[in-house]
Amino acid sequence: MDEENTRSRKKMRYSFMRSPIIGFNKGNRDIALKIKTVSEKLDEIAKEKAMYGFDELYKAPDHELPRLSSTSLVDHSSVYGRDDQKKNVVLVLIDCGNLEVLPPLGRLPNLESLSLKRVGVRRLDAGFLGIEEVENANNINEGEIARVTAFPKLKTLWIQKLFNLEEWDGIERRVGEEDATTTSKFIMPQLLKLTIDSCPLLRALPDYVLAAPLQVLCLTASPNLRKRYGEEEKGEDWHKISHIQDVTIN
């Protein structure tokens, strides 16, 4: 009986010792395979690094580089490239159906292209031009003339699908003529292309637009304008646009 118990204890001890050894060896094999895979990948990366010369790029400098100062402000003198483009501004207002009054966009000095599409305004007036009031008019000396220019660099203007637009106010004097406040006002002096599309209620164009150096005028899906300026319709103001090189009205 004692002999049998002794054999049983030896068997249990052997089984107990054998199980963790087998598990340990299997774990070692898995780790070894992973280490081998990672090692091979690192060797591959090292070869590519040497091949493409990355060793030189990432070589540590001989001296510590100075830390750049941080600021929330941009120093424009340190900005390089596209000098001409950064001076030109393009503004697009689309799907502003609740916008009934436009800001004084005429005061943007570098605006070259303006597009208004599906905006809820009913009227384009002096507020849109930004010349409702002449700043510092009281400081003008006797005999002096203040010069005010709205949209000084605007070359292209698109007005599309302003279904509520009825009036586009002009001015009571010719462009450049001095008024009672000794102020000379110039509006869109460089405008070259005007497109008006789907503005069914708009009745007429302002005088300052007709006085601009327009080369292209396109009036489409705007029946009141077609009736007023169309040659085939013998519009009453056809003569005001007949000098423009490229005119499309339909």
Please write the tens of the pLDDT for every residue from 199-210.
999 999 999 999
Task: Kindly state whether residue 152 falls inside one of the protein's structural domains.
Answer: yes
Calculate the average pLDDT of the chain: 77
As a dihedral over the C-alpha atoms of residue 115, residue 113, residue 158, residue 121, rounded to 10 degrees, the angle is: 40
Task: Kindly state whether residue 69 falls inside one of the protein's structural domains.
Answer: no
Identify whether residues 7 and 109 lie together within a single domain.
no
Identify whether residues 216 and 97 lie together within a single domain.
yes
Of 72 and 28, the structure prediction assigns the larger pLDDT to: 28
Task: Kindly state whether residue 161 falls inside one of the protein's structural domains.
Answer: yes
pLDDT at 102: 93
Q: Give the structural domain span for 217.
A: 84-131+144-249
Of 29 and 62, the structure prediction assigns the larger pLDDT to: 29
Judge whether residue 135 has pLDDT over 90. no
> What total number of domains does the chain contain?
2
Q: Mind listing the pLDDT tens digit for each residue in 167-183? A: 999 864 434 444 445 56
Identify whether residues 107 and 190 lie together within a single domain.
yes
% of the chain beyond a pLDDT of 70: 62
Identify whether residues 50 and 88 lie together within a single domain.
no
Of 88 and 106, the structure prediction assigns the larger pLDDT to: 106
Identify whether residues 214 and 126 lie together within a single domain.
yes
Identify whether residues 193 and 121 lie together within a single domain.
yes
| The two three-digit tokens of residue 217, written as one number | 């005028």
As a whole number, mean pLDDT of residues 119-128 equals 93
pTM, to two decimals: 0.61
